[in-house]
Structure 1
Amino acid sequence: MSSFTSKVPSGKTISVRIIDSTSSINKLPVKALMGPPVPGFDLLPETGTWSFLVEHDSGRKLLFDLGIPTDWRDMAPQVADRLKNNGWGISVEKPTVEILKEQSIDATAIEAIVWSHWHWDHIGNPSTFPSSTKLIVGPGFKEEKLPAYPKNPKADVREIDFEGRDLQEITFTEQNALQIEPFRAYDYFGDGSFYLLDTPGHTVGHLAGLARTTTNPDTFIFMGGDLTHHSGELRPSPLMPLPSSIPSSYIPALCQHLSMTTACPGSIFENINSTRDRSPPTTTPFFDPTMGKDIPLAIETIKKTQQADADENVWYVFAHDRTLRGGNVELFPASANEWKQKGWREKLLWEFLADFETAAKQMKEKAESEGTKLQ
């Protein structure tokens, strides 16, 4: 059991609501993001991008990520041309600002938008917010990404997304900067309610968010952005080993397909790892990232995040976590602060194993043909 939360200074709580940005990405090859491959798991399931509304008790409000821009076809040519030709299914129903307005939250109430990073499926439409809304980015963004398009025709971010507004780059040298081992952190409100974490690798300046959702005990939602694109990049880990059995209530469809009513043996998934040279198989994540600015640094950041992920008082939610869909959790306008009391973390922790249905069936059939009893 990790004690990550013991390293976080005491502080106030903050309200968190998880917004379905109505973004959708289909037909995305797994190999484009991570490896080594798992047999039968070639395409990621349809996924969206979560946005988080973070509300301080003073009334100040932040948005962490915005999803896909509604005008994604008109993004910088460097990005738009690639998206139009890669064969993915991309759609977005409405901008986040409209989702907020439907719940009587006006754009003028948003103090700042935090981009976990600058990729097209996270930046949304900042231009739909007033110029009083700041845009917050991570360290190194300005040096690497400015000038933007169209001033720089080869740029992959647009001037329209931040022109006329305060573009604030967090450097982790500010007055409210501190160390929450193993991360550099920035205490945004200065009261321990919400931290931005330095989580580089996937991109320069990638940021995560850490929101304190309750006290006594202190619980947190860890907003992971694109630190991972699948829970199999994070789990299992030395601090979160693969269980010896997975309750059927966690992955009901898979256990049913395997004709196992109460639980699926962990050995099935252990074998999926061992046959792919993932060793030790019970404590090594199923995948490593294959897409990013600095892959070794991304893997290092994932290892740091495993310390938080293994803490029962931290709920790690990455931007494209499909397990939140289907009624598994309560979304905006509902609050997510009572996630621990409602058991959302435990319910979803190993649900991603359902993606390995084909490989799991092969492992079960192989064991049966060899007369091996699955444990």
Structure 2
Amino acid sequence: MSSNFLTEPAVAPDLHIPHSPHTVDVRVLDAGTLLHLKPGLFYEPALDGFEAQHVPTYCFLISHGDRHVVFDLGVRQDWENSAPKLVSLVREAAMITRGSDIATLLNEDAERHEKGGGSGPELGIRPRDVEAIVWSHNHFDHTGDPSTFPPTTPLVLGPGVRAASWPGYPTNPESMMLDSDIAGGRPIQEISFQAGEKGHVRIGRFDAFDYFGDGSFYLLDAPGHAVGHMCGLARTTADPPSFVLMGADSCHHIGVLRPTAYLPLPRDGPSLQGLETRAQTTQTTPCPCPGELLASLTKTGQPDRSFFDVAKGPYFLDHEQSMDTVGKLQELDASDEVFIVIAHDHTLRDRMPLFPEKVNDWRERGLSSSTRWLFLKEFEAVIAKRAAES
């Protein structure tokens, strides 16, 4: 075998992304809020030694010339002012560390720009300059506080989200949403992914909507986790083409996506350093290569199957649809043209440029190849525990 993979990679499928000379600028927004995610609740199986994680929630600013769209708003800074039923659930789960919010990030950057005192690429974009807010879905860690944007700023939603969300609290005391999210007559645009309708295209096996109408930014129909769940796909360079895939909550750990038949586990490499040593400290017999140790942890014990599935239970509305969406994403993940950022992938946090910097040059930076297997280091304790027990 000529590659460093444990098994020969399968040929990645053709995604058939339409050609376009048009691009958008993509900036990753991280407002600093951390969520406490427990293995077994959001992805399974739980592995002995694999601990709960504190993860960010990534949002995105997509700029098409002087047109700006925000993809997700994260957690509202004053989350205690959310609907009472939601507040009760968050407090019970003790799952949040407070951060800022997206409107504040934009305003602070704009103030630096206006004062001319910043040292970075300040943009001067305020919430009033954003033409639309796209919600990937209607969960609290993505919906933020739309009232921090003008009431004329539309909400762009996936199919069925409006009916599933409103009326909110206080009109409906049991709602997780707020009436104030759409107060003031805020316009709502619900995306249709029906074939034959204006803007409909196919991206890989996804039904997609061409948001700007020129192939620069697509919304993808990615159901399963929640009603109307969507991903985003932004063209960051035209020739050669490259894309950033905004995975939202298609999964909550990158080990749900990897490895695959297209991206099997590596035999060794920088991301695996320390795994073999960790295991050898607890046994006297020679250890296999790090990749083989890790393969024993995958769902099937094989190097071309992912570590986790999305969990069955309340956090994924439709498990079968969720797994189908994961399968479609895995095909995009296999492409060298696509850099996937799921909303809660903490391994990327200190590696990729954050707002106000652009992430368009991700390929030149080698971000995809250098971060693809970083999550494997999280399994050191699992390997050591199993080695000690063998």
The question of a shared fold, defined as TM-score above 0.5 by the shorter chain, is answered with: yes
Residues 152-191 of structure 1 mapped to structure 2, 5 A cutoff? 152-163=172-183, 164-173=185-194, 174-191=197-214
**Whole-Å Cα distance in 2 between the matches of residues 252 and 149 of structure 1?**
51
Match of 1:122 among 142, 152, 155: 142
Q: How big is the shift at 1:251?
A: 4.8
CA contact (8 A) 2:156 2:188 kept: yes
Report the counterpart of residue 104 of structure 2 in structure 1. 98
Structure 1 125/253 Cα, relative in aligned 2: closer, same or farther at 3 Å?
farther
CA distance in 2 between counterparts of 1:244 and 1:254 reads: 12
> One-letter code of the match for 1:49?
T
TM-score normalised by the chain length of structure 2: 0.86
Aligned residue identity for 1:53: L
> Unpaired segments of 5 or more residues in structure 2?
1-10, 111-124, 282-287
Give the secondary structure class of the aligned counterpart of 1:131. Answer: coil
Alpha-carbon displacement from aligned partner over 1:205-249 (angstroms, at most 9, x marks no partner): 00100000012211100000000100111111122212222x12x
Match of 1:373 in 2: none
Superimposed CA distance per residue, residues 124-164 of structure 1 (whole angstroms, 9 cap, x where no aligned partner):
11100012211111001122222222211111111111222
Alignment partner, residue 17 of structure 2: 7
State the match for 1:23 in structure 2.
33
1:317 deviates by 0.3
CA deviations over 1:244-279 (Å, ceiling 9, x no partner): 22x12x25565664579xx96210111112xxxx22
Residue 242 of structure 1 is aligned with which of 265, 269, 291? 265
Return 69-78 or 335-344, whichever deviates more: 69-78
Cα distance in 1 between the residues matched to 2:98 and 2:149: 21
Aligned to 1:53: 61
> Is contact 1:222-1:315 (8 Å) kept?
yes
Maintained 8 Å contact 1:224/1:317 = yes
Deviation at 1:314, TM superposition (A): 0.3
Give the structure 2 partner of residue 318 of structure 1.
Answer: 342
Correspondence for 1:309: 333
Partner residue in 1 for 2:94: 87
Aligned-partner Cα distance in 2 for 1:86–1:161 = 24
Distance 2:161 2:202 in 1: 21
Q: Aligned partners of 1:354, 1:107: CA distance in 2, in Å?
A: 39
1:83-135 residue CA offsets vs partner (Å, 9 max, x unmatched): 1112324312x221111122212111100111111111111111000122111
Amino acid at match of 1:271: S
Cα separation, partners in 2 of 1:52 and 1:253, compared to 1, 3 Å: farther
Aligned amino acid, residue 322 of structure 1: H
Give the paired residue count: 354
Matches within 5 A, 1:278-317: 278-279=299-300, 281-290=302-311, 291-317=315-341
Distance in 2 separating the partners of 1:138 and 1:228: 17
Task: Give the Cα separation in 1 of the matches to 2:177 and 2:273.
Answer: 42
- TM-score, normalisation: structure 1: 0.89
**Structure 2 Cα separation of the partners of residues 148 and 135 of structure 1:** 15
Kept in 2, the 8 Å contact 1:228–1:302? The answer is: yes
Q: Post-superposition, which runs of at least 4 consecutive aligned residues in structure 1 deviate over 4 A?
A: 251-260, 363-366
Alignment partners' CA distance in 2, 1:303 and 1:35: 16
Cα distance in 1 between the residues matched to 2:14 and 2:178? 38
The reply to whether residue 266 of structure 1 matches residue 286 of structure 2 is: no
In 2, distance between residues paired with 1:19 and 1:36?
30
1:346 paired residue among 354, 369, 381: 369
Shift of 1:73: 1.2
**Mean CA deviation greater in 2-11 or 206-215:** 2-11
Q: What RMSD, in angstroms, separates the aligned Cα atoms of the two structures?
A: 2.0
Shift of 1:168: 1.1
Q: Distance between the aligned counterparts of 2:386 and 2:35, measured in 1? A: 30
Paired residue for 1:223?
246
C-alpha distance in 1 between matches for 2:199 and 2:98: 38
Partners of 1:31 and 1:42 within 8 A in 2: no
The equivalent of 1:372 in structure 2 is none
Q: Distance in 1 between matches of 2:360 and 2:289?
A: 31
Contact 2:21/2:239 (8 A) holds in 1 = no
Q: Where does residue 116 of structure 2 map in the other structure?
A: none
Q: In 2, distance between residues paired with 1:242 and 1:270?
A: 7
CA shift in 2, pair 1:4/1:99, >3 Å: farther
Instruction: State whether structure 2 residue 39 is matched by structure 1 residue 40.
Output: no
Q: What 5-or-longer segments of structure 1 have no aligned partner? A: 370-375
